[in-house]
Amino acid sequence: EAQVTQNPRYLITVTGKKLTVTCSQNMNHEYMSWYRQDPGLGLRQIYYSMNVEVTDKGDVPEGYKVSRKEKRNFPLILESPSPNQTSLYFCASKTGDSYEQYFGPGTRLTVT
């Protein structure tokens, strides 16, 4: 089954404790991205990657890191999480020129 997977689905952590949210897709898509979703603010892009070893900042990259060492994986790293990073996070993938983007199930992160 074609899908984007994210782990963990739910995470409660404390300020400053490094964490990684994994994202994997099995559709051989070149393009992958991370969004955060907050009430009233819609989906805001954090980082995206057009292919292996190619990453770019989105609209809200501060406090986040990403890497793209393999085509299928695109982990999101929070080196020192803060409470304002409490949010619902979505990973997504698509072919490079497509408008149809496939989203993972989401990761609900709470930073206390």
Chain contacts with other proteins (rule: CB under 8 A): 31, 33, 35, 40-45, 48, 50, 56, 58-59, 90, 92, 94, 96-97, 99-106
Q: Output the smallest distance, CB 71 to other proteins, in A.
A: 16
HEC string of 57-68? Answer: ECCCCCCCEECC
User: Please, what is the minimum distance in Å from the beta carbon of residue 85 to other proteins?
Assistant: 19
Output 18 or 34, the one with its CB closest to other proteins: 34
Q: How far is CA 10 from CA 30, 65, 69, 96, in A?
A: 27, 19, 25, 29
CA dist 1 and 23 (Å) reads 16
Shortest separation between residue 17's beta carbon and other proteins, angstroms: 25
